[in-house]
Structure 1
Amino acid sequence: MRLSTLLVCGVAVLAAGLAQAQSVPAPAPGMPSPALMPLPASMTAGQGRLAVDGGFTVALAGPADPHLEAAARTLIQRLSAKTGQFLAGAPVMTGSAPGKGATLTLMVTGVSADIPAPKEDESYTLTVTPGGASITAATSIGINRGVATFAQLVANGPQGWAVPAVTIHDQPRFPWRGLLLDVSRHFMPIATVERTIDLMQAVKLNVLHWHLSDNQGFRVESKVFPRLHQLGSDGDFYTQDQVRQVIRYAADRGIRVVPEFDMPGHTTAWLVGYPDLASAPGPYAIERHWGVFDPALDPTRDSTYQFLDRLVGEMTALFPDPYFHIGGDEVNGEQWKASPAVQAYMKAHGLKDTAALQALFTTRVQAIVAAHGKHAIGWDEIMDGDMPKDVVVQSWRDAESLKKAALAGHAGILSAPYYLDLNWPAGRHYAADPLPENLPAGLESLILGGEACAWSERLSPENLDVRLWPRAAVVAEKLWSPRDMTRDVSAMYARLETVAQDLVSAGSRHEAARTLLLTRVAGPAGLEALLPLAQTVQPLQDYRRSARRPDAVQSTPLNRLVDAVPAESAEARAFSLAVDRFLANPKDVEARAAVLRPLMAWQQGNALLAPHVAATPLLAELAGPSAKLAALADAGIAAAEALHTGKPMFDRAGGEKAVADAADAGAELDFAILPTVTRLVKAAP
């Protein structure tokens, strides 16, 4: 179930990634080389190792800071989970001097604010010697980043758990490194949100973008307009005390919380309780389908802005971050076009189209946000208006939108290539850089960074981690590490397996949840019967699932194989690498065996699964994919044998048909091994 082991020399892996570092730490004899993500800016090897055993202690030095104590406790918890040891539970405060005799001293020169601010000093220095270690930083923000690195460095070897001696000087490339969590389409409980924050801290992400309202739900308690959450949430919402709890929890980990209340579109759930806000008469119901819908706030009435002034005032007081996201995306304008009152208003004010009307709305809402002391953020569409320069543009379309915003003087955040819910491979996320191409010199500082996005049409608390982790760590590295260090995709994948396991010790359920979900799908067939198919498939990418299942609604169960398998098949990637080696020398017996072993297992999988496909509906939809997999594996075996022997491929026509048939796997799945088997068949004599 885990990422298949890639036999890459650990030192070579880090050397490829740390192109700008002075040197790479060689592990002590028998110790694995550290696999870090994000890669630090500068890393120099030392001699020896520091043991992390039952006597491990943490001391705090510098001004007293409750966030510093929380960072220490987080580290102790992570190391206890990672090593299975009962480590000392309480950090010791030593004042301004390093902790004498402590294994690790966390030293700050200043006290962090109650809530992290934008562009904090996140730099740190980590020094490890056989006699002890220290992390020094300006405040607990930098300590949190150093703690994440230290936890990743801990590895098991012949003499037990230890950290290699090393000196690291590190700081982020971009100040805004976010993760958007959509809790509107499918609600995420507080425990899930806090676990996500823990995992963000583990890979140095620093902004939780909390998407709190949409057509399918308004998820925050409003004491000013209580019908928003009472009628627009199905009872799934966060109380204001819970919101404060999450903000405190994130602050202890050096993470900001930026709320989003999308408007004027994506507001159907608002209109259930307050239909007079809409541009067409109600009644309204919470939207259960996915897509872009007609309902929108009426931008022509003063009462709309009076409502928003009170709501924004309440929510900006609840969320202390200086940024407030107002959405602004995907307004189709149909309700406005159909309203005689709106059309008359547009004519009277010389507004040529609904885009101009939305620009007017955004301008007025931005002024409301500013009056409450916040900077507005919006999606690409807000660029249609004449926005003040302090409005930040978040691009969901492409990097060109970000470039357009920068040319207009706006700071920007890139999300377009980092949509985790679209099931793209990690390498595709890794290849995308936040800086737009050909950006004029001097505008680089306007690119604040980027955000990975987890839109939840097909995400639930149960499969969230399967979709987010470990791929979110790849985006985190792209936003933290120097650009020249994030070009080697092969080295990234080699580190990703170890990082995935490290994230488990930080709380990720991506492995446990996957096993649970697959076991449920397998049912009477048993997990072993399902694994051959599960290893070779991945969910449809982009929005193809929506095209296949336009009838899917909010209550559609996310309990099928497509919901259980990760976005990228590690087994398929390992198979592709094995085929690369084989094609380079088809006569090599070991290379041939490495290709045939998985193909034979996949070929036999249908014999295990087929007797059970009529047992449950979850298995019934897999009859076709399972049979296609057996045929595809047959084609791969025949092609490999032909290449090895130099003789013509047996039943080439049948093999080519199997490849063609596998292009549509069924059950909203793709065969991840299809491109590699296709290469084998095309190469065969």
Structure 2
Amino acid sequence: MNRLIAILCLIALNCFSQSNLKETYNLMPWPKSIEENNHRFVIDENLTVSIEGDSPKRVQHAVTSFLRRLSNRSGVFINEGFAMPLSENQQASIQISFKESAKLIVDDDESYKLDIQSNKVTLVAHTDVGAIRGLETLLQLLTNNDSEYYLPGVSISDAPRFVWRGLMIDVSRHFHPIDVIKRNLDAMASVKMNVFHWHLTDDQGFRIESKIYPKLHELASDGLYYTQDQIKEIVEYASILGIRVIPEFDVPGHATAILTAYPELGSKPGATYKIERYAGVFDPTLDPTNEDVYVFLENLFTEIAPLFPDFYFHIGGDENEGKHWDANEQIQKFKKDHNLSTNHDLQTYFNIRLEKILNKLDKKLVGWDEIMTPNMPKTAIIHSWRGEHEGLAKGGTLIEAAKKGYNTILSNGFYIDRMESVVKHYQTEPIGDVQLTEDERSRILGGEVTMWSELVTPLTIDSRIWPRTAAIAERLWSPKNITDTDNMLKRLEVINYRLEDVGITHIRNKDVILRNLSNNQDISALEVLSHVCEPLKIYSRNEGGTEYKTYSPFTLFADACNVDAKDALKFKKAVTNYSKTHSEAHKTDIISLLEIWSKNHEAFQKIDKNPKITPLETLSYNLSEVSKFLLKRIKNERTSKKDMKTFKSQIETLKQPFADVELVIVNDLENLFEALK
């Protein structure tokens, strides 16, 4: 009994210690284990780095990046700006060792151990990729006092929970040049993500050069595509960062761009096609009964597949409603002749043909979860995007796929283009409490963040991906019990600004958009509004896909706003606390925000009006008036029945969308009113 009590006490002490550590260090993802010592490694000009390991190219690149970012962040003029072999410097300040170069496959070992003493830092990993993951942790540990920057004395042992931690970027709906891709790859590496899923084709564009079928990039891309040399450049760049690149060619649906170039491959005889300018699900579909389609795809994949060394090749396979199949008599006859009862059966026939083509190219097929039909071979990977993900036993395709014998990855719950809160994504637990065998659990490889780009351009894409993706990266790397959202938000606030170190433009580009809105006038009033407004969520901004075309302006107020508006979060917390305690401290927090909003319309009116900001005038005015009313109430100043009636009317006005944004503090304004009764 005493032994049990002692064990429980040790567990409780460790949990308490880990909790305190999370308050101290702004690490993301949070490591598997971390212990403090009483040492401190001071950063000075004499810092040196050595590497021990074969083929150190990745680690050399990572060390160079580490030293530049370390120097920039600390202001220290480091004498030696590059790593050297351990044989040339046995006394290096930071000593990195690894055993082998990672192959960039699913089973790569990304674990590392980090030990910081007062006179030396050691980083040990099995692979070079593990070493560069550890370097990112080391950089995140950097802190300072009044006189020096230093690395706190800690020992860390770390490894990822899931082997597949990805980000998908759709470059078809809006094309994103290679500099956009590279900076996002750098950001991925900074939070230990390891799969870049490149969605290269869709109804709105075919984005890769084909020398065999040149009409694809000549007629179906608007001149916006990657050359094969650029593809190789990105793949190599990702490899240096320890990131695998998986291409997606979406077939048989989402095929308008392909059919714009080669209409004879379509399911509607005699049809002509044009690149789609709107968003949505469209009818053009490849004809799975036409042998020329398979010749085309085999030739195309044979040309393209060698550009991507990874074993996996994504064929999409989603959202095919089969309308052109239903209307084609020859396709219906084919189904009957081959005992294919449904369009799902026909698509499975198509997918199996594709898998055989990919197998000849040493590739494994990945597809969205629509491909999971009874006859689909178990060698395919099921990419889950539909179904429940909280308590997945309720019917989520991830768990269903694992139980049926498929390897599977999760994106449901990680659709960041839906513009939902980081907390919701962070609380998406891939496995939940469902009971799985060891084999079933091993088939859940991990997950991917999905950045569909109907509403994002190179100017805004970073603000839609980051910083929320950093929190999802933690969900996929860190132990399952790392779930404290308040602590995550505290750490994310720091990581958010650190993302600028690697070139992410999510913070500074906001001001670019606001200056455009104001015709380069004072943007402070627009900034205030942007801190309490968020873009409309879950595709309601572009409902039906017909408000915006691919070349519409995406420099509007909604594009400057982002999820988790910072003053809205502050106000919600202050109102919630005040409603419970009526404390003076929380009252002061509320008053300070209400005073800002009450005065803001005066500043807004000083901007020379133009058609881009005129739709915000009603929002600005009513927010100001509501804030003035609540200030009177919280300060116990007199208000009339007429004031109250006006307040309620203005609140109803503020509940409406304005210029594709919503004022996300409306409920909290009402809650404050109730608390002040």
Does the Cα contact within 8 Å between 2:629 and 2:647 map onto a contact in 1? yes
Distance 2:545 2:328 in 1: 32
1:100 pairs, out of 86, 90, 96, with: 90
Aligned CA distance change for structure 1 residues 320 and 524 (closer, same or farther; 3 Å) = closer
Residue 67 in 1 paired to residue 78 in 2?
Answer: no
1:498-537 map, 5 Å: 498-523=494-519, 525-537=521-533
1:211 pairs, out of 199, 209, 212, with: 199
Query: What SS does the aligned partner of 2:481 have?
Result: helix
Distance 1:192 1:167 in 2: 35
Distance 2:488 2:34 in 1: 17
Query: Match of 1:287?
Result: 276
Query: Match of 1:413?
Result: 409
Does the Cα contact within 8 Å between 2:40 and 2:151 map onto a contact in 1? yes
- Paired residues in the alignment total 657
1:657 pairs, out of 627, 634, 649, with: 649
Distance 1:590 1:362 in 2: 62
1:392-403 map, 5 Å: 392-398=381-387, 399=389, 400-403=396-399
Residue 467 in 1 paired to residue 447 in 2?
Answer: no
Query: Match of 1:82?
Result: 73
Query: Match of 1:263?
Result: 251
Distance 1:79 1:551 in 2: 45
Aligned CA distance change for structure 1 residues 256 and 26 (closer, same or farther; 3 Å) = closer
Query: Match of 1:165?
Result: 153
Aligned CA distance change for structure 1 residues 18 and 73 (closer, same or farther; 3 Å) = farther
1:384 pairs, out of 373, 378, 381, with: 373
Aligned CA distance change for structure 1 residues 89 and 585 (closer, same or farther; 3 Å) = same
Aligned CA distance change for structure 1 residues 340 and 272 (closer, same or farther; 3 Å) = same
Distance 1:567 1:18 in 2: 37
Amino acid at match of 1:445: S
Query: What SS does the aligned partner of 2:124 have?
Result: strand
Query: What SS does the aligned partner of 2:287 have?
Result: coil
Query: Match of 1:479?
Result: 476
Amino acid at match of 1:592: K
1:666 pairs, out of 641, 658, 672, with: 658
Query: Match of 1:11?
Result: none
Q: Which digits, 9 at most, give the CA deviation of each residue in 1:245-292, with x for residues without a partner?
A: 111111111110011010001111111111111111332111111000
Query: What SS does the aligned partner of 2:122 have?
Result: strand
1:117-136 map, 5 Å: 117-136=105-124
Residue 489 in 1 paired to residue 477 in 2?
Answer: no
Aligned CA distance change for structure 1 residues 25 and 103 (closer, same or farther; 3 Å) = farther
Does the Cα contact within 8 Å between 1:205 and 1:255 map onto a contact in 2? yes
Does the Cα contact within 8 Å between 2:462 and 2:505 map onto a contact in 1? yes
Amino acid at match of 2:281: V
Q: CA deviation at 1:334?
A: 1.0
Amino acid at match of 2:628: D
Residue 37 in 1 paired to residue 24 in 2?
Answer: no
Query: What SS does the aligned partner of 1:651 have?
Result: helix
Distance 1:185 1:81 in 2: 36
Q: CA deviation at 1:655?
A: 2.7
Does the Cα contact within 8 Å between 1:42 and 1:168 map onto a contact in 2? yes
Task: Give the TM-score normalised by the residue count of structure 2.
Answer: 0.93
After the TM superposition, which of the residue ranges 646-655 and 46-55 deviates more from structure 2? 646-655
Query: Match of 2:316?
Result: 327
Query: What SS does the aligned partner of 1:241 have?
Result: helix
Q: Which digits, 9 at most, give the CA deviation of each residue in 1:409-443, with x for residues without a partner?
A: 11111101011111111100011011154243331
Q: CA deviation at 1:635?
A: 4.7
Residue 675 in 1 paired to residue 667 in 2?
Answer: yes
Query: Match of 2:580?
Result: 584
Q: CA deviation at 1:44?
A: 0.3
Q: CA deviation at 1:544?
A: 0.5
Distance 1:461 1:54 in 2: 38
Query: Match of 1:430?
Result: 426
Amino acid at match of 2:453: S
Amino acid at match of 1:569: A
Distance 2:627 2:13 in 1: 39
Query: Match of 2:447?
Result: 450
Q: Which digits, 9 at most, give the CA deviation of each residue in 1:532-571, with x for residues without a partner?
A: 2111101111111112872310001100010011222011
Does the Cα contact within 8 Å between 1:403 and 1:436 map onto a contact in 2? no
Distance 2:560 2:220 in 1: 29
Aligned CA distance change for structure 1 residues 70 and 440 (closer, same or farther; 3 Å) = same
Does the Cα contact within 8 Å between 1:366 and 1:376 map onto a contact in 2? yes
Query: Match of 1:351?
Result: 340
Does the Cα contact within 8 Å between 2:43 and 2:150 map onto a contact in 1? yes
Distance 1:18 1:207 in 2: 37
Q: CA deviation at 1:682?
A: 2.4
Query: Match of 1:4?
Result: none
Distance 1:556 1:385 in 2: 42
Query: What SS does the aligned partner of 1:138 have?
Result: strand
Residue 595 in 1 paired to residue 590 in 2?
Answer: yes
2:174 pairs, out of 183, 186, 193, with: 186
Query: What SS does the aligned partner of 2:372 have?
Result: helix
Amino acid at match of 1:517: I
2:540 pairs, out of 544, 565, 574, with: 544
Aligned CA distance change for structure 1 residues 385 and 304 (closer, same or farther; 3 Å) = farther
Amino acid at match of 1:360: Y
1:225 pairs, out of 213, 224, 244, with: 213
Task: Give the TM-score normalised by the residue count of structure 1.
Answer: 0.92
After the TM superposition, which of the residue ranges 16-25 and 602-611 deviates more from structure 2? 16-25
Aligned CA distance change for structure 1 residues 631 and 576 (closer, same or farther; 3 Å) = same
Does the Cα contact within 8 Å between 2:188 and 2:194 map onto a contact in 1? yes
What is the RMSD of the two structures over their aligned residues, measured on CA atoms?
2.3
Query: What SS does the aligned partner of 1:210 have?
Result: strand
Q: Which runs of 5+ in 2 are unaligned?
A: 1-10, 390-395
Q: CA deviation at 1:17?
A: 14
Aligned CA distance change for structure 1 residues 649 and 19 (closer, same or farther; 3 Å) = farther
Percent sequence identity over aligned pairs: 34
Distance 1:312 1:132 in 2: 50
Does the Cα contact within 8 Å between 1:186 and 1:459 map onto a contact in 2? yes
Q: Which runs of 5+ in 1 are unaligned?
A: 1-15
Distance 2:131 2:630 in 1: 51
1:618 pairs, out of 603, 612, 617, with: 612
Q: CA deviation at 1:18?
A: 12
Amino acid at match of 1:479: L
Aligned CA distance change for structure 1 residues 79 and 406 (closer, same or farther; 3 Å) = same
Distance 1:561 1:635 in 2: 26
Query: What SS does the aligned partner of 2:449 have?
Result: strand
